[in-house]
C-alpha cells in the first residue's frame, strides 16, 4: 500500500479518535494570518477535518487537497454543504494548481509526509507574497500523569511492537525549521495545551489510528492491542494525555 494512504483505511476510527487542536491555537492562527472572507486558504491533507472547521467558519475561500479516497468522501459528507468549501482528491506532490495562489497554506500533521524539498518549494510557489505557511502537530505526554502505567505500556511495546520494517523505512526525514532554506522568513514556534482522557477500549481505538501501529501485521497487531488494553484496565480503565499543540509559522516575503 502507498505509505501515505495507510490512514485512509480507517476513516471512521480516524474521525472519532484523532486529536483536535485547541480553540486558542486557531484563534491565534486566524488572527496572525488575517483569515476572513477575502482570503484564499489551502489545507494539505485534511484527513477527516480535525483542523478544518475553525478555518472554514471564517468564511474564507477554503480549499483542500486530500490523497485518500475515503477521507475525501468523509470531508464532503461533513463539509460539502458549505458554499466556501472546495476539495480535490489528488496528490499534492503532482497536482497542477494552475494559476491559483493562496493567502495561507496550512497542515495539521500532514506536511511531514511530503518530501521536504517538495513541501517547502511547492508551498512557497503557491503562496501570494506575504502569505503564511502554518504547520501544526500534537505532542502527547501520557508519562507525567501516571509513570507506572507508562512504564508498563513500554513493556508491551518492547515485547510486541513489530511494524513492518519496509513501511518504517519509506518515510523521509522532515525538519520544520528547514522552511527558511527555501525562502521562507520569520519562522517561529508557538505552543498551546490541552488534555484528553481515554478508557482502555478508546485508547486502543486511538492507537489504531497511528500509521506505524497500522503497519503491524496480523496476528501480531491483535496481540499487541489486546496487551495495551489489558494494561490500561489494570490501572483503573483510565489513561490521561497532556497534549502540547505545536504551531509553526513562517511567511513568504513580500514582493
The pLDDT score that the predictor gives to residue 166 is: 55
Q: Residue 8: which pLDDT band, with cuts at 50, 70 and 90? A: confident
C-alpha to C-alpha distance for 106 and 136, rounded to whole angstroms? 8
C-alpha to C-alpha distance for 81 and 124, rounded to whole angstroms? 30
The pLDDT score that the predictor gives to residue 26 is: 98
C-alpha to C-alpha distance for 214 and 208, rounded to whole angstroms? 6
- Identify the sign of the CA torsion 45, 46, 51, 52: positive
C-alpha to C-alpha distance for 129 and 104, rounded to whole angstroms? 10
Give, in order, the Cα–Cα distances in Å from 180 to each of 18, 73, 120: 30, 35, 9
Which grid coordinates belong to 62?
477554503
Residue 140 has pLDDT above 70, yes or no: yes
Residues 55 and 106: beta-carbon distance below 8 Å:
yes
Q: Supply the mean pLDDT for the chain.
A: 94
Give, in order, the Cα–Cα distances in Å from 252 to each of 44, 98, 188: 17, 19, 13
Residues 21 and 51: beta-carbon distance below 8 Å:
yes
Residue 102 has pLDDT above 60, yes or no: yes
Q: How many domains does one find in the chain?
A: 1
Instruction: Report strand pairing: 239-251 vs 127-141.
Output: antiparallel
Range in 84-93, 117-126, 169-178, 228-237 the model is least confident about: 169-178
Q: What domain range is 73 assigned to?
A: 3-251
Residue 5 has pLDDT above 80, yes or no: no
Q: Residue 249: which pLDDT band, with cuts at 50, 70 and 90? A: very high
Residue 1 has pLDDT above 60, yes or no: no
Q: In 3D, which of 28, 12, 86, 11 has the Cα closest to residue 56? A: 86
- CATH assignment at residue 230: 3.40.50.150
The 10s digit of each residue's pLDDT in 53-93 is 999 999 999 999 999 999 999 999 999 999 999 999 999 99
Residues 242 and 144: beta-carbon distance below 8 Å:
yes
C-alpha to C-alpha distance for 136 and 134, rounded to whole angstroms? 7
Share of the chain above pLDDT 90, in %: 87
- The mean pLDDT value for 14-42 works out to 96
The 10s digit of each residue's pLDDT in 150-179 is 999 999 999 999 887 655 555 678 999 999
Amino acid at each position: 500500500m502507498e505509505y501515505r494512504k495507510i490512514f485512509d483505511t480507517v476513516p471512521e476510527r480516524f474521525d472519532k479518535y484523532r486529536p483536535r487542536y485547541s480553540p486558542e491555537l486557531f484563534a491565534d492562527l486566524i488572527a496572525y494570518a488575517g483569515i476572513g472572507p477575502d482570503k484564499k486558504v489551502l489545507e494539505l491533507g485534511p484527513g477527516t477535518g480535525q483542523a478544518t472547521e475553525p478555518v472554514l467558519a471564517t468564511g474564507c475561500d477554503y480549499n483542500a487537497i486530500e490523497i485518500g479516497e475515503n477521507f475525501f468522501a468523509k470531508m464532503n459528507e461533513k463539509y460539502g454543504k458549505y458554499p466556501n468549501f472546495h476539495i480535490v482528491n489528488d496528490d499534492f506532490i503532482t497536482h497542477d494548481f494552475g494559476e491559483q495562489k493562496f493567502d495561507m497554506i496550512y497542515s495539521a500533521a500532514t506536511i511531514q509526509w511530503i518530501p521536504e524539498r517538495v513541501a517547502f518549494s511547492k508551498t512557497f510557489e503557491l503562496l501570494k507574497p506575504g502569505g503564511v505557511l502554518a504547520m501544526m502537530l500534537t505532542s502527547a505526554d501520557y508519562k507525567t500523569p501516571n509513570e507506572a502505567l507508562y512504564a508498563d505500556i513500554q513493556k508491551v511495546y518492547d515485547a510486541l511492537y513489530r511494524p513492518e520494517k519496509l513501511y518504517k523505512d519509506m518515510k523521509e526525514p522532515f525538519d520544520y525549521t528547514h522552511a527558511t532554506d527555501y525562502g521562507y522568513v520569520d519562522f517561529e514556534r508557538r505552543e498551546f495545551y490541552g488534555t484528553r482522557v481515554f478508557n482502555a477500549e478508546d485508547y486502543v481505538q486511538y492507537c489504531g489510528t497511528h500509521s506505524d501501529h497500522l503497519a503491524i501485521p496480523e496476528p501480531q497487531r491483535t496481540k499487541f492491542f489486546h496487551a495495551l488494553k489489558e494494561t490500561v484496565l489494570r490501572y483503573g480503565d483510565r489513561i490521561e494525555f497532556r497534549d502540547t499543540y505545536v504551531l509553526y509559522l513562517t511567511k513568504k516575503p513580500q514582493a
